[in-house]
Structure 1
C-alpha cells in the first residue's frame, strides 16, 4: 500500500475482482448485522498467512470503511456520544448498520482494516512481513487476497473510522489500540468459485 492509498483510503484500482469482493462483503456484512446481531461470522474473519508459511497466524476481524467522500464516521461518533449505555449503543448501531449502510459497494474502500492491542505480537509479525494473505471463506465462497500491510496513524481517516465503528460494539476498546490497513493487490487475488 502506498502512503497515498492509505491517506486517500482506497487504491482506486479498477478490477473485476475488487468489485466482486466488495459486493460479497457488503452482502455478508449486512446479513451479519441483521441475522447475527452484529457478531462477526467467518465471512469477515479471514485467516492470515505470511509468505512462506503454511500455517495461519489465526483469524482477524476486518472492517470495511466507506470512502472519504461517503464517510459516515461523524454519525458513528455521534451515536457513541449519545449514550453511555453499551446495550443501547449496540442496539442503535445494529439498526444503523442493518439498514442502508452496506447497500452500495462502490461507496467502500478496498483497504480493509483491523484493530490490534498495543504490543500485539501478531500485529508485529504482520508488519514485519509487510504483506500477507487474507483468506476469507464462507457461504460456499472463498477469496484469497494478497495484501500489503501498513500501520495507520491516528490521524488517518481509516483509523478514525475503524475505531468509531468498533467502539459502538466494544466501548472498552483499549486506548493503545493499533489499526493495520490491508490493501489487496487485485491482480494477485483468487476467488473460488
Structure 2
C-alpha cells in the first residue's frame, strides 16, 4: 500500500463534495441505527461498478470509520469482549452507535471499508481492478464515488476499526477476513438526485 491516506486512515481533500457526502452518511447511518436496528439498507450498500462492465458487480456493505485522532476502536473491542451473548453485543453496539457516534462528520475518515470472506472471488475481482465506482442511491440522494481500492493489512488502523465494528454485529467473523478500503477521488466523483 503506497497511499499515505490509507496508512493514516484519512485523505486530506477539501473538496466540497467530501463533507457533503460525510454529513449525509452520518445522518443516514444514525437513522439506520435508531430506526432499523442497524440492518444495512441502500444508503450504506452501494453498487460496485468496475470499468468496462455494463452492470454493477453487486452491492457491498460499507463501514464508515472515525479518523485515527477520533478512533473508538478500543471501546468497540471492549464491548465485544464484555459478553459472549450476540444479542447483548448487538444491543450495546446499537446503543453506542445511535447516540452521539455519528454527530460530527468531520471526525470520520472518507476512506470507506468493507469486509469479505476469506478467499472471496468478489474481493479479488475488485482488488484486481484497482479502482471502481461506488454508487449510493437512497433518501432522494445519489452519490457516485470514483475510488481507488486497497487491500488493508491487519495492522492498518482502518482494518482494525472495521473488524471491531463488524464483530459487534457478527461475532463469527473469521480472523482472516479480507478488508478492502475505498479511497474516493472527490474531483472525479459526483452527486445528484436519483435517476
- TM bracket, shorter-chain basis: over 0.9
Corresponding residue number in structure 2 for 1:104? 104
TM-score, normalised relative to structure 2: 0.97
Extract structure 1 runs of 4+ deviating beyond 4 A. none
Q: Does 1:59 align with 2:48?
A: no
TM-score, normalised relative to structure 1: 0.98
Corresponding residue number in structure 2 for 1:11? 11
Instruction: Measure the CA separation in 2 of the matches of 1:2 and 1:158.
Output: 15
Corresponding residue number in structure 2 for 1:36? 36
The aligned runs of 1:127-142 (5 Å cut-off) are 127-142=127-142
Q: Does 1:177 align with 2:182?
A: no
RMSD of aligned C-alpha atoms? 0.9
SS state of the match for residue 143, structure 2?
Answer: strand
- C-alpha displacement at 1:167, in angstroms? 0.2
In the alignment, structure 1 segments of 5+ residues that lack a partner are none
The alignment covers a number of residue pairs equal to: 193
- C-alpha displacement at 1:32, in angstroms? 0.3
In the alignment, structure 2 segments of 5+ residues that lack a partner are none
Q: Residue deviations 1:144-189, cap 9 Å, x none?
A: 0000001000000000000000000000112220000000000011
Q: Does 1:83 align with 2:83?
A: yes
If each structure's helix is expressed as a fraction of its own residues, which one has the higher value? 1
- C-alpha displacement at 1:2, in angstroms? 4.2
- C-alpha displacement at 1:60, in angstroms? 0.2
Instruction: Measure the CA separation in 2 of the matches of 1:2 and 1:37.
Output: 37
